[in-house]
Amino acid sequence: MEKEQYVCLVCGFNMVGFHPDRCPFCGAARKHFLTAAECSARFRVVSTPVNGKVTRLNSRPALGIEHAAYRIETGRGACWIDCPSCFDASLARADAIFFTHHHFLGASNLYRGHFKAAVHIHQRDSAHAICRPFTFDSTFEERFVHNGIEAFPIDGHTPGFTLYIFEDVLFICDYVFVGQGAMKYNPFGPADRTVAGGSRIGEILEGRALAKVCGYDYVADYADWKRLFDAGPTFGGY
C-alpha cells in the first residue's frame, strides 16, 4: 500500500492519499479512522454463495455502513459488482469491478492494483467529488453487456445509478430498502427522480424470469422481492 489511506469505521469510506479531520462521506471525526493496513489486520472479507456462480462478499466484523459486494463467475473471468470497504489480499482475483453507484467505492483502488482489475462506473457518478481520489478505468453512459452481465443505468438514487442482471440474478444494491413485509425507496437521494427511476426498473424487469435479488444488505428470492416492488415502494416516513 504505497499511498496514505484511511478507512472510516463509522461508514467504511476509504480516504485515499489524504487524512482529513472529518470523513468526507459521513462526517465522522478522525478518531474513528484506521489506516488501511490496520483495517486489513482487523477485518477480513467473507464469501457466501448465492448460487453456483454468484457469491456475496462482506467485511467481517461488519465495517461501517456494511454493504455487500458480489462476485460473479461469468465463464469468461470473474467480475465484482461493488466493492468491500476492507482490503483482503486473500480473495480470489477478479478481472473487473462494476459499480452500481458512488456510495460504496470501498477499497476499490487497492483491489484494482492487487488484481490488475478494470474498474467501471457510470460517467455521471464518476464526476462526484467523493470519487476524485479513486481511479476508474472506464466510465459508461448507456446500457451494455459485459461477459453476460447486463448493465442498466437508472438515474434516481444517484445520477449514475446502474443496476445489473446476470442470468437470473438482479443486483439492485440500495435502490430500495426491504424490511418487515414492506419496501421503501432509499431516502438518501432526490425523491422525484428516485421514484421515476423505480418506473424504469419496473420496465426493465417486465417479463423477466429471475430467481434472486442481491441487495446492499440482503439476498432475497425474486418472487418475494417483486411482490413488494409491484405493490409500490414508498418514499419518506423513515
> Which pairs from 228-233 meet CB under 8 Å and 24+ separation?
228/178, 228/181, 228/182, 228/183, 229/176, 229/183, 229/201, 229/202, 229/205, 230/202, 231/183, 233/176, 233/183, 233/184, 233/185, 233/198
Q: Where are any strands of DSSP class E within 66-167?
A: 69-73, 78-81, 96-98, 118-122, 138-140, 144-146, 149-153, 162-166
10 contacts Zn ion (rule: CB under 5 A):
yes
CA neighbor of 106 nearest in space, from 165, 56, 36:
36
Nearest to Zn ion of 9, 94 (CB atom): 9
CA dihedral sign, ordered 165, 63, 66, 186: negative
- Position among 6, 7, 8, 160 found at the interface with Zn ion (CB under 5 A): 8
Q: Of residues 7, 15, 23, 81, which one binds Zn ion by CB under 5 A?
A: 23
Q: Does 11 engage in binding with Zn ion (CB under 5 A)? A: yes
Of these, 6, 25, 111, 136, which contacts Zn ion (CB under 5 A)? Answer: 25
Touching Zn ion, residues 55-84 (CB under 5 A): none
CB of 101 to Zn ion, least distance (A): 5
* Contact positions with Zn ion (CB under 5 A) in 96-125: 103
Q: Give the nearer residue to Zn ion in terms of CB position, either 11 or 45.
A: 11
49 preceded by cis ω (within 30°)? no
CB 225 → Zn ion: shortest distance, Å?
Answer: 18
Give CA separation, 61 vs 39, 67, 86, 114, 197, in Å: 11, 12, 10, 22, 33
Closer residue to Zn ion, CB minimum distance, 78 or 121: 121
Q: What residues form DSSP beta bridges with 152?
A: 163
Task: List the x/- string, 173-202, binding to Zn ion by CB under 5 A.
Answer: -x----------------------------
Binders of Zn ion in range 148-177 (CB under 5 A)? 174
State which residue, 25 or 111, has the beta carbon closest to Zn ion: 25
Stretch that binds Zn ion, among 17-25, 139-147, 197-205, 226-234 (CB under 5 A): 17-25
Q: Is 9 in the site for Zn ion (CB under 5 A)?
A: no
Q: Rule CB under 5 A: say whether 54 interacts with Zn ion.
A: no
User: Which spans in 54-190 are helix H?
Assistant: 108-115, 123-126
Binding site for Zn ion (CB under 5 A): 8, 10-11, 13, 23, 25-26, 28, 103, 174
